[in-house]
Chains A and B, each alone.
Chain A
């Protein structure tokens, strides 16, 4: 029972490079989220999706793009990475029943040099 799986778990980028983080869930959840976690800041919402083909901006969306082409996958893209995007990224999902439990992946640690 995989739950929420994030890939890759670690990545080092140079400033200006691009990359995509993949989140996959096998629970048939409608809602999916991308958060970033920085020391002393808690988790801040980047983008979220309320269903296949939909996306919406969260609290800190600048510099990121997302896509939800398939219900089970939620991709987070960095088109031109900046050192300020060095962080731990968490994907989460939940069912459509409100307020349902969020299920989290184990995180992806990104360093931008």
Chain B
């Protein structure tokens, strides 16, 4: 069965520090992976997506993620956190049929000054 596991439900960093949000997946077929972000009281929006074209994927707002097949991971990083990055982040896996997306439980990122 396909699944997504986000390690750590809450991550706290200082402004300017490295952001690292961890995601591991399980899939018997080559996966399509995404990161979505949800700002307080809003819907979700796409940060970036991996579709096998390149293992290092760049997204909006300075975020990037690296696909590592050997580790079944798709961790999200940003070199320097901003206060505006405080939000909930979801790692997402497309299902095998290509009809729906499977969401991780989410990681809340807090940024302190």
Residues on A facing B (Cβ under 8 Å): 4, 31, 33, 35, 40-45, 48, 50, 56, 58, 90, 92, 98-99, 101-102, 104-107
Contacts and interface: CB of A to CB of B under 8 A. Distances in A.
Contact of A99 (B41, B44, B51, B105): B51
Contacts of B43: 4, 90, 104-107
Given A31-B99, A42-B105, A90-B43, 11 more contacts: A33-B100, A40-B106, A41-B105, A44-B103, A50-B99, A92-B44, A98-B94, A102-B36, A102-B101, A104-B45, A106-B43
A90 B44 contact: yes
A41 B90 CA distance: 11
B44 A104 contact: yes
A42 B103 contact: yes
A29 B12 CA distance: 37
A4 B103 CA distance: 20
Contact of A102 (B9, B44, B99, B102): B44
Contacts of B98: 98-99
Contacts of B106: 40, 42
B100 A43 contact: no
A101 B41 CA distance: 20
Given A42-B90, A50-B99, A106 B104 contact: no
18 contacts: A31-B99, A41-B105, A42-B104, A42-B105, A43-B90, A45-B101, A48-B100, A56-B99, A90-B43, A90-B44, A98-B98, A99-B34, A99-B98, A102-B101, A104-B43, A104-B45, A107-B42, A107-B43
